[in-house]
Amino acid sequence: MLLSNLALGQKRDRDEKPNVIIVLADDLGYNDVSFNGSKDIPTPNIDRIANNGVKFTNGYVSYAVCGPSRAGLITGRYQGRFGFSRNPLFAPNDPNQGLPLTEETMASALGRGGYKSMALGKWHLGAHESQRPLERGFTEFYGFLTGGHHYLPEKLDLNDLSEITSQYDAYRTKLLKNNSRVDEKEYVTDALSREAVDFIERNQEEPFFIYLAYNAPHTPLEATEKYLSRFDHIKDKKRKTYAAMVSAVDDGVGLVLDKLEELDINENTMVFFLSDNGGPEPHNASDNGPLRGTKGWLWEGGIRVPFAVQWPGTIPSGQVYEEPVISLDIFATATALAEVKPRNDLDGVNLVPYLTGKKKKVPHKELYWRMHDRRAYAVRKGDYKFVNVDGKEDMLFNITNDIGESAPLDDAHQSESMLKSVKKWISNLMDPIFMGLNQDKEYTKKHPDRFDLEKY
């Protein structure tokens, strides 16, 4: 009896501060998971999260491209508040080319609550020494710093940053384990899954946070025969490789979920799954299904993503949640459960009371987006979405009835109200604080010693 009570006591302690895992796919199409209707790419393990918990039909990210979206997720704040409105360049000598030090990351906040944390995979929040994961609150890191990477180990042929001479050379670097380069022998997606499982095993007795940021299925499209052989029914070569890459992520999610169940900590662990933005169809052969537009645009296809969460025993399973939620909510949810007060004001909300039925109102009255360089903005309010994708034309849609944004509404009163709202919100944002990926040549011209680490 004494041992039983002790075990129960330990379990209750862990329940008070549940583990948090974020599984973030990269450039995954809205329609490329089974729980959103995929017919040619089965995702049984990703579906487990939705089936064990909640599928969000109106799940959004805060930006339509990778870097700013990740900056929003990891801080719980609209990235325009701190000027992160472009994809950062790979500039290891530049302390301003990434996430400002004024911003607290989820790892830093949870660390104050006693959490160990690991960042895995794609970082893309700055390559300068001051901006790397171990300097931004994470206790461990296994991955790479830039916005993309090769997957096949034989293509990882650069030993360190000293061998980089251009933006995309960074895709070829050996992976980092904390601050040291390692010779990875596995397919990179499999390696990230392996390291996630290892971290869970080593930290099962204390609260932990895992940021499992797969770079799949972002280009370059590379897969091993293990995964390609599953998709002989797909004749388009690009789509077949893309499907194989998604399947590798799904296998990894399965390994993580299986380990949580094996260790009997699945009821102490909240697991989120989402993509960082919509699919860039047809660039990587992704499929956004009924949504209009792609990555890089404020149409639904750029910002509405596959999104699900599970917390067995706390969040009822099998839910389909229709109200709009956003990736910013993950930070607010995690810190609320960890009983940690964030150092900055957050734009997300704790989702748990809404998913358990304790709160009946909607989590957000309005959600906002701005893409500075496109002069684009959008606001979602209830059934309505007001959007301008290129600075030229404002459009209003009933997004509930018209998910494909095909029939603009003629409602001057509603449009005027939403335009006023989004302009007020934009007035509180900063202009971008660094040059972005589209300014690669210009940046290098202004910084000819961009990759010359010996000068620093």
Instruction: Give residue-wise pLDDT tens across range 393-426.
Output: 999 999 999 999 999 999 999 999 999 999 999 9
For the chain, the average pLDDT equals 95
* pLDDT given at position 1: 29
Q: How far apart are CA 104 and CA 136, in angstroms?
A: 8
**Class in CATH terms, 367-438:** alpha beta
Amino acid, single-letter form, for residue 75: T
DSSP state for residue 171 in the 8-state scheme: G
Q: What is the mean pLDDT of residues 126-155?
A: 97
* pLDDT given at position 16: 76
* pLDDT given at position 452: 82
Please answer whether residues 126 and 97 qualify as being in contact, where contact means their C-beta atoms are separated by less than 8 angstroms: yes
Q: In terms of C-beta density within 10 A (0-12 exposed, 13-18 middle, 19 or more buried), how is residue 455 classed?
A: exposed
Residue with tokens 């409105």: 85
Q: Strands of 17-62 (E only): list them.
A: 19-25, 54-56, 59-60
Active site (annotated) includes residue 128: no
Q: What is the mean pLDDT of residues 430-440?
A: 96
Longest dimension (CA), the chain: 72
**Class in CATH terms, 17-355:** alpha beta
Q: How far apart are CA 171 and CA 158, in angstroms?
A: 9
- Is 391 a residue whose pLDDT tops 70? yes
* pLDDT given at position 456: 40
List Cβ neighbours of 85 (8 Å cut-off, separation of 6 or more): 63, 68, 79, 370, 371, 372, 373, 429, 430, 431, 432
- Is 439 a residue whose pLDDT tops 50? yes
Active site (annotated) includes residue 124: yes
Q: In terms of C-beta density within 10 A (0-12 exposed, 13-18 middle, 19 or more buried), how is residue 225 classed?
A: exposed
Q: What is the pTM of this model?
A: 0.96
pLDDT category at 308 given cuts 50, 70, 90 is very high
Domain ranges of the chain: 17-355, 367-438
Nearest to 278 by CA among 450, 455, 31, 79: 31
Contacts 24+ apart (CB under 8 A), 439-448: 439/89, 440/89, 440/167, 443/89, 443/91, 447/91, 447/93, 447/94
How far lies 285's CA from each of 28, 162, 178, 279, 376, in Å?
Answer: 10, 34, 33, 8, 25
Sign, Cα dihedral of 79, 82, 85, 90: negative
